[in-house]
Chain A
Amino acid sequence: MFKSLTARAIIPVTVSVTGFVVVCCILLYSLMKADMTSDVILLETNQAQMIVKSTRYAMRHDDRESLANIIDNIGTQQWVEHVRIFNKKGIIMFSSNHSEVGKLLDKNAAGCIECHSGAVPAATLGDMKQARRFTNDKGKEVIAITAPIYNEPDCYQAACHVHKAGQKILGTLDIGLSAAPLIRNLTVMRNRMVIFSIMVLLVTVGGVAALLRRYVFIPLRMLMDFTEKTVQGIEQEIPPCGGEIERLAGDIRCIVKELNGLRREMAQWKKEE
């Protein structure tokens, strides 16, 4: 079966096209997944910066009620899983989940270790290093960002505050968004790529198979039938085949014509005897 002419023509084409399309699709999906995740992280970083800037006025005026209200409102937004602000010691000062206010965070926890891995905590990190992905208590996948709240001149120069100019970071904002929209988009994209790949394979392999059948296998089968019948002594004509096979058919026609002529002559001699 695998050594037939059809298999020899179709199997290499099928394996080559399938393999190449699948490899390209996997790599493309992997790259697009990385790009889409980076976009989500960039968007989340911008949101975190926006929240820090929006809450700065309330922080500078030590308006804790307004600050808690802003955090609560942001926490009610769709796809926002958590928002919290913790101070330099790691104590949660404000959170959309009121039960965790006042709790101390472990410096080795995900989201903290990125800055606190060394003896001296890092003051700045790239967007990708600030991001972490985990499954929360509700079983939802979350992409979270930790944005440092820097000590700016209007903080340490304000009369009401005690921060020294040398203190670089006052606290950190932690915001976690649900990864569900990203996962949904990736699933839709993956399904589309699978359908696209199957269509490409069907068109390529089907096209090659159909053309080979029409121009090679059917004429070859006709020639085989013709030669078999000639061997059995049945006389018939080969229909036109087209292409290079027509030359072969022409040669076979000549040989068969001569063979039939010889057969007739032999039959004549036998009759005469």
Chain B
Amino acid sequence: MEKGGVNHPVQQRLSPDFREGYARLRQETLAHIRALQRKFTAELLSASLFLLLSIAALYDFSFFPSLPEGVRAALGRPPSVTMIGTVLVIYVFSGIILILSRMMIGSGRYDGIGHVGFIAGFYLFYHFSGKLPENFWAVFVSGMTIFVLESYHLWIYCSEEIAREREVLASLERKSGG
């Protein structure tokens, strides 16, 4: 019972400023939840793209027409297999360290498409040096490691952030009495 002995509906009790602020905050929270969901979906799309690329690489890109000799000549000699392998090891190592450090500091950054680009580069370098069949599994396992680790991190991060935002929503609902 309010002062004066009259019960008003909750929305009428709140000041217009509060109602406006509440609506804005609610919209922002919902938008943040949607952004977090989109972020994880984008990571899953990158992982799917990586799998599609790997299927093409498994067949040594035989679905695609081969490059004309002129283009191949313009590209020059491919780097040695040892060099590609060394760069691949450095890439996996630094990728794992980066993702683990993001997990440590609780950052929600991710490089899904960037990793697809790197992996595509390795597949293409091996393809042009004619050693893709021997080295396919090395590149595939590298990609899988990076994507599993990054997806797991992003899944945990987004779930926690969404739970936090839902708590904010719930507390807003409580404050507004809705």
Residues of A at under 8 Å CB distance from B?
2-3, 8, 11-12, 15-16, 18-20, 22-24, 26-27, 30-31, 33-34
Contacts and interface: CB of A to CB of B under 8 A. Distances in A.
Interface string B138-178: 10011011101100110110010000000000000000000
A16 B100 contact: yes
B79 to A, nearest CB: 14
B82 A19 contact: no
Interface centre among A8, A18, A20, by most chain B C-beta atoms within 10 angstroms, is A20
Interface SS, A side:
helix
B53 to A, nearest CB: 17
Given A23-B88, A30-B85, A15 B149 contact: yes
B100 A12 contact: yes
B103 interface: yes
Interface residues of B, number: 27
A23 B142 contact: yes
Given A3-B159, A19-B142, A26 B149 contact: no
Interface of B: 81-82, 85, 88-89, 92-93, 96, 99-100, 103, 134-135, 137-138, 141-142, 144-146, 148-149, 152-153, 155-156, 159
Contacts of B149: 12, 15-16, 19
A222 B149 CA distance: 31
A15 B99 CA distance: 12
A33 B153 CA distance: 36
Nearest to A16: B96
